[in-house]
Amino acid sequence: MYVATKGGERAISAAHAWLEAVRRGPPGRAEIATDQIADQLGLAVDRVMAEGSCHDRGLAALAIKQARGDLIEAAFLLRAYRTTLPRFGSSRPLDTGAMRLQRRISATYKDLPGGQVLGPTFDYTHRLLDFRLTAESEPAQPPPEAAPDSAVTPRVTELLAREGLMQREVSYDGTPGDLTREPLSFPADRPLRLQALARGDEGFLLSLGYSTQRGYGGNHPFVGEIRMGDVAVELVPPELGFAISIGDITVTECQMVNQFKGSRREPPQFTRGYGLVFGHGERKAMAMALVDRALRAAELGEASDAPAQQQEFVLSHCDNVEATGFVEHLKLPHYVDFQSELENVRTMRAAVAAGSLG
């Protein structure tokens, strides 16, 4: 005899207790500390801060620990926390020109003012598993240090703009929209698009950026400059009336230089794709810059039929917290609707059978 399933509440509690035990792992093994995650899995922390849209290394590390290393789950935890925080103001625009650089490279010039600074990069490493890391190791020899270079490091895109070869960005006077407070509506302006891309999924943007390189909306990109380092966050409290620095954050900025053949109103020149992310997130910043430029196709009078050029498609699907929720909701029971479909298909099959007999 059928008895309706009961005990969902007990089952949920038991499942969560099991999850907690699995998260902790064998009790005999040392527990991983959040500061170890913040220090030694720093790039995971950076990604969670970027996609979780909240700059806090400690909280991001905690989220990674709680999520058992599932970075999308960690970004979701951070977002759900972030949304409960009060807002006491907006910072002034970050001055990435005044960045304290850890890394700065340009692919368009062999040498340039400020030089090429490689910084801590995987580039040019041989991807050979380093088995020494399986054993506890002595602290590495400190890397050689040069005296800090006090040279001014102008932006590559600015050098081009001075020559009239790079399209100037329109300065934006109004208060930019805030997609965490107001729902996105289409067409979305560039500040809002950049907001969405900055918190968008790295994998999704990477693939879209890649698609532009393979001919789906290509626009001949060059890495004008990638810079990564610390910038000051400044705020103007209304009671003071002048800017004060409330701390430094690490960001990665990418400016892509793209060809533009010119239009009736504008001469041929280069145009910019822009990427900026929290932490050291070079891949994401580059992908973001490619997609940003692709999304400007319509404004620049270019054909805009490739996926990366369609803003409703890109912006509606780049958020991995939204995407994972909706994809995974298919796990929820759907038997009411399925029952309707069952009856529907049975009716249609009966009609077909009757037709073939008659």
User: For residue 66, what are the CA distances in angstroms to 17, 39, 74, 77, 233?
Assistant: 13, 17, 7, 9, 29
**Residue 312, H or E segment:** helix 311-317
Structure tokens that stand for 333 in this block: 């029971």
User: For residue 112, what are the CA distances in angstroms to 102, 312, 353, 354?
Assistant: 16, 39, 77, 80
Q: Which is nearer to another protein, 138 or 337 (CB)?
A: 337
Helix (H) and strand (E) counts for the chain?
Answer: 12, 4
Q: Which is nearer to another protein, 8 or 215 (CB)?
A: 8
Whole-angstrom distance, CA of residue 324 vs CA of residue 255: 30
Shortest Cβ distance from residue 183 to another protein (Å)?
A: 4
Q: Is 6 in the site for another protein (CB under 8 A)?
A: yes
Q: Is 88 in the site for another protein (CB under 8 A)?
A: no
Q: Which is nearer to another protein, 7 or 174 (CB)?
A: 7
Choosing from 123, 186, 239, 240, the residue that interacts with another protein (CB under 8 A) is 186
Whole-angstrom distance, CA of residue 176 vs CA of residue 153: 28
Closest to 213 (Cα-Cα) out of 202, 223, 221: 221
Shortest Cβ distance from residue 210 to another protein (Å)?
A: 23
Beta bridge partners of 103: 228
Shortest Cβ distance from residue 155 to another protein (Å)?
A: 34
Residue with tokens 């909706």: 326
Choose the stretch contacting another protein; rule: CB under 8 A; options: 95-103, 132-140, 254-262, 329-337: 329-337
Shortest Cβ distance from residue 337 to another protein (Å)?
A: 4
Tell how far CA 334 is from the center of its chain: 32
Q: Is 263 in the site for another protein (CB under 8 A)?
A: no
Q: How many residues does the chain have?
A: 358
Q: Which is nearer to another protein, 79 or 296 (CB)?
A: 79
Shortest Cβ distance from residue 100 to another protein (Å)?
A: 32
DSSP state of 334: -
Choosing from 115, 120, 203, 325, the residue that interacts with another protein (CB under 8 A) is 325
Choosing from 140, 145, 329, 357, the residue that interacts with another protein (CB under 8 A) is 329
Interacting residue ranges for another protein, rule: CB under 8 A: 2, 4-9, 11-12, 76, 79-80, 82-84, 86, 180-187, 312, 316, 321-322, 324-329, 332-337, 339-344, 347-348, 351
